[in-house]
Chains A and B, each alone.
Chain A
Amino acid sequence: MRHLLSMEGVERAVIEGLLDDGDEFLEVLDRPIPKVPTLRGKTVATMFFEPSTRTRLSFEKAAKSLSADTMSFSPGTSSLSKGESLKDTVLTIQAMGVDLMVVRHAATGAPWRVADWVDVPVVNGGDGAHQHPTQALLDALTIRQRFTTLDGVRVGIVGDIRHSRVARSNVWAFAALGAEVTLVAPPTLLPLDATTWPAATTSDLDDVLTELDAVYLLRVQKERGGASVFPSLAEYTARFGMTVERFNRLKPDAVVLHPGPMNRGVEISARVADDPRALVLDQVRNGVAVRMAVLYQLLGGERDE
């Protein structure tokens, strides 16, 4: 693995290898000194051309727990506002001496372009509505911790699938690991064409609710309510929200996940969010561990095979 750009087409063994390493890094994070010297002398640059505090912090924590140095780039304070091209920006940062770049960008495919331009490994930290592979890894790890495997686990991904890079990453990762994935959304938020996705689709959450082992709630982008993709937030909550009533109808061991930040009272009720079966904080913790796994794998030497 030279870069980590997408979950689409990544083989099960590769994903499982990263999750296995993620488990080991969770142990590292539990140590009295939660830090190992593995990447001493390496520099990881987080290049976030689209603001995101939590994902950047998670990558930086992962890098530091492996003793790598971090550099961060954010567009607000950068030369982008002076008209510098993306290419010149990343080449400039590379020339300062970095060993790996994490790239987040609002434009689909931007991390692929960066990977073409630079000589170091690139991790996609989220591009457009396309991919966010480390999110998929942390979510897969979180579900695996609960069920020991994803084989046969029924996962419903609920919400704005159409505009979600989280959904586009998770669907491939979950399916590769053997889960049965159902996408649940109003028709205007389902993918325009999901014929080639490894998932079923429905617009009726209540129809599938009791069969699910894990319910993955996507964040409702409140501003989209105004773009008339669904009539109102209240209607969304009524049909697709994880209310206490719906939560009580889930299988007894079913779990709820959310990539954050949550809109309490919209896609998830506050009481569900605070329930032990809501794994939101596990996801955050696992996020650091799988990102350590990714950095560890990508910064190891080239494999000969």
Chain B
Amino acid sequence: MNDLILEGGLVLTPDGPVTADVFVRDGIVAGLGESLGSDEATVLDCRGAWVGPGFVDVHTHLREPGEEWKEDIGSGSEAAAAGGYTAVLAMPNTDPPIDAGHLARYVADRGSEVGLVTVIPAGCVTAGRAGERLSHLDELWMAGVRVFTDDGDSVADAGLLRRAMDYLAQLGGIVAQHAIDAGLARGGHMHEGDVSSRLGMAAIPAEAESTVVARDLALVRLTGCRYHIQHVSASQTVALIAAAKAEGLPVTAEVTPHHLAFDHRVVESTDPVFKMMPPLRSPEDREALVVALRDGVIDMVATDHAPHADHEKDVPFEHAPHGVIGLEWAGAVVNTQVGLEPVAFYERLSIAPAALLGASGQGRWIEPGAPATMTVFDPEADALDHARSRSRNTPHLGRGLRGRARHTLLQGTLTHSATIVPHPS
């Protein structure tokens, strides 16, 4: 393996940012300093950019197995690397759903074969995501699953959720909840508010999310299980999270780039690219999410990267499936819309999500001995101008976003470079 020198970037070390060169040998950060020039090493220009730990996404739909026309582990890994990601948590709502050990192993193994990002499988809470009985929690645990979710649906049955929490609390697992009450959301396509009222569209109130979270927090108090709230969309949920954290409950939360970037007013176009679950909410909600991410009430950014083929999205809004892709632009959205300092930026995109997953070798500040799993992020560059995913359902193009991954390294291997590796297609 070639030695690498990451030259002249602002390096995020355990002691804070310093401008330095980073010397990488055998997949490990071998040294930090100035003018580490070497004849044999490949030099990566990092001037004007931040050099920090690789991004970790705790919410990615890779669609494999079962829906490979939207995405597969290969194309999804490419999109992830291009966005600066070095690890992703693969959501288990595939076909078949990941509710048993051998399925989880398949996903992880395919990720290793592709080799562009560490693919960590999440497992279902309930068998077949049917919400009726528990999935093979032990078996999944043995296969390395740490996060359990029926994402795409809430675990609605409180008794069942309580049993899952009891079980996982003892193992140390995490329940990640797609918190949307099916009854309140029934038939809805967008946020319930003045825009849905003008469009005459059936809608989903913010309470569809907050009522589930409020109930679940009571069960967290009861069981002590670690609980992660996926794609928080409403300010009233933010308030619940803040209170739970103040109380000391083992709770974390994520927000998506699209909920940081948009509010429901864009849905007036009835363009299906803005259809997602949970829906884009009010401007006040969006503002609350930005503030919560800045303050750390919301711990991390997660993409909810949800690829859909053109023919699935090119239909009337009400007929379109939910979701947008986001791996390629999450860093740019956070950089442009939230404007975090480099340390907080990497905390939300790398440190906190890696800690949630307990992913070894991910989310380490840059220092000698740390794995060379890094993202060099240029906050001034124009964002990536095309999708690397197999699908193209993104609202983030053409909006003047700033920031993109200049280089992505996974254990010393360059998995993406805006300047060196030619475009694969």
Direct contact of A and B (CB under 8 A): yes
Q: Which of A8-28 contact B (CB under 8 A)?
A: 8
| Separation of A165 and B199 alpha carbons in the complex (Å) | 9
Q: A113-B270, A192-B192, A192-B203 are in contact. Are A108 and B317 (CB under 8 A)?
A: yes
Cβ proximity bits A133-174 to B, threshold 8 Å, 1 near / 0 not: 000000000000000000000000000001111001000000
Residues of A with C-beta under 8 A to B201: 108, 128-130
Residues of B with C-beta under 8 A to A109: 199, 270, 316-318
| Residue A112 is within 8 A (CB to CB) of chain B in the complex | yes
In the complex, the chain B residue whose C-beta lies closest to that of A5 is B270
A246 to chain B, nearest CB (A): 27
A108 touches B318 (CB 8 A): yes
B198 touches A168 (CB 8 A): yes
B103 to chain A, nearest CB (A): 30
B200 touches A128 (CB 8 A): yes
| Separation of A110 and B314 alpha carbons in the complex (Å) | 11
A189 to chain B, nearest CB (A): 12
| Separation of A193 and B192 alpha carbons in the complex (Å) | 9
Residues of A with C-beta under 8 A to B272: 113
| Residue B102 is within 8 A (CB to CB) of chain A in the complex | no
| Separation of A128 and B200 alpha carbons in the complex (Å) | 7
Of A86, A105, A107, A196, the contact of B198 (CB 8 Å cutoff): A196
B194 to chain A, nearest CB (A): 4
Cβ proximity bits A179-206 to B, threshold 8 Å, 1 near / 0 not: 0000000000001111111000000000
Q: A87-B314, A192-B192, A193-B197 are in contact. Are A107 and B203 (CB under 8 A)?
A: no
| Residue B399 is within 8 A (CB to CB) of chain A in the complex | no
| Residue A248 is within 8 A (CB to CB) of chain B in the complex | no
Q: Which of A212-265 contact B (CB under 8 A)?
A: none
A174 to chain B, nearest CB (A): 15
| Residue B186 is within 8 A (CB to CB) of chain A in the complex | no
| Residue A85 is within 8 A (CB to CB) of chain B in the complex | yes
| Separation of A197 and B197 alpha carbons in the complex (Å) | 9
B317 to chain A, nearest CB (A): 5
B200 touches A130 (CB 8 A): yes
Residues of B with C-beta under 8 A to A163: 200
B270 touches A86 (CB 8 A): no
Interface range on chain B (Cβ under 8 Å from partner)? 20 to 34
Of A107, A168, A191, A195, the contact of B317 (CB 8 Å cutoff): A107
A193 touches B193 (CB 8 A): yes
B194 touches A112 (CB 8 A): no
In the complex, the chain A residue whose C-beta lies closest to that of B190 is A108
| Separation of A197 and B200 alpha carbons in the complex (Å) | 12
Q: A129-B200, A130-B201, A197-B198 are in contact. Are A108 and B316 (CB under 8 A)?
A: yes
Cβ proximity bits A99-117 to B, threshold 8 Å, 1 near / 0 not: 0000001011110110000
Residues of B with C-beta under 8 A to A86: 315-316, 319
A116 to chain B, nearest CB (A): 9
A191 touches B318 (CB 8 A): no
Residues of B with C-beta under 8 A to A107: 316-319
B315 touches A87 (CB 8 A): yes
A191 to chain B, nearest CB (A): 5
In the complex, the chain B residue whose C-beta lies closest to that of A110 is B316
B197 touches A194 (CB 8 A): yes
| Residue B170 is within 8 A (CB to CB) of chain A in the complex | no
| Separation of A143 and B44 alpha carbons in the complex (Å) | 73
Residues of B with C-beta under 8 A to A105: 316
| Residue B196 is within 8 A (CB to CB) of chain A in the complex | yes
| Separation of A165 and B197 alpha carbons in the complex (Å) | 11
Q: A85-B311, A107-B318, A192-B192 are in contact. Are A112 and B269 (CB under 8 A)?
A: yes
A135 to chain B, nearest CB (A): 14
B200 touches A165 (CB 8 A): yes
| Separation of A170 and B161 alpha carbons in the complex (Å) | 48
A113 touches B192 (CB 8 A): no
Most central of A86, A107, A194 by chain B CB within 10 Å: A107
| Separation of A197 and B194 alpha carbons in the complex (Å) | 9
Residues of A with C-beta under 8 A to B318: 107-109, 128
A85 touches B200 (CB 8 A): no
| Separation of A196 and B265 alpha carbons in the complex (Å) | 12
A85 touches B315 (CB 8 A): yes
Q: Which of B197-238 contact A (CB under 8 A)?
A: 197-201, 203
| Separation of A113 and B193 alpha carbons in the complex (Å) | 23
Residues of A with C-beta under 8 A to B317: 107-109, 113
9 contacts across the A-B interface (CB closer than 8 A): A105-B316, A108-B189, A108-B316, A128-B200, A129-B201, A165-B200, A168-B198, A193-B196, A193-B197
A residues with CB within 8 A of B: 8, 85-87, 105, 107-110, 112-113, 128-130, 162-165, 168, 191-197
* Given A130-B199, A196-B194, 16 extra CB contacts under 8 A: A86-B315, A105-B316, A107-B318, A108-B200, A108-B270, A109-B317, A109-B318, A112-B269, A113-B315, A128-B200, A193-B197, A194-B197, A195-B194, A196-B197, A197-B197, A197-B198
The 6 nearest A-B residue pairs measured at CB: A109-B270, A129-B200, A107-B316, A110-B316, A107-B318, A193-B197
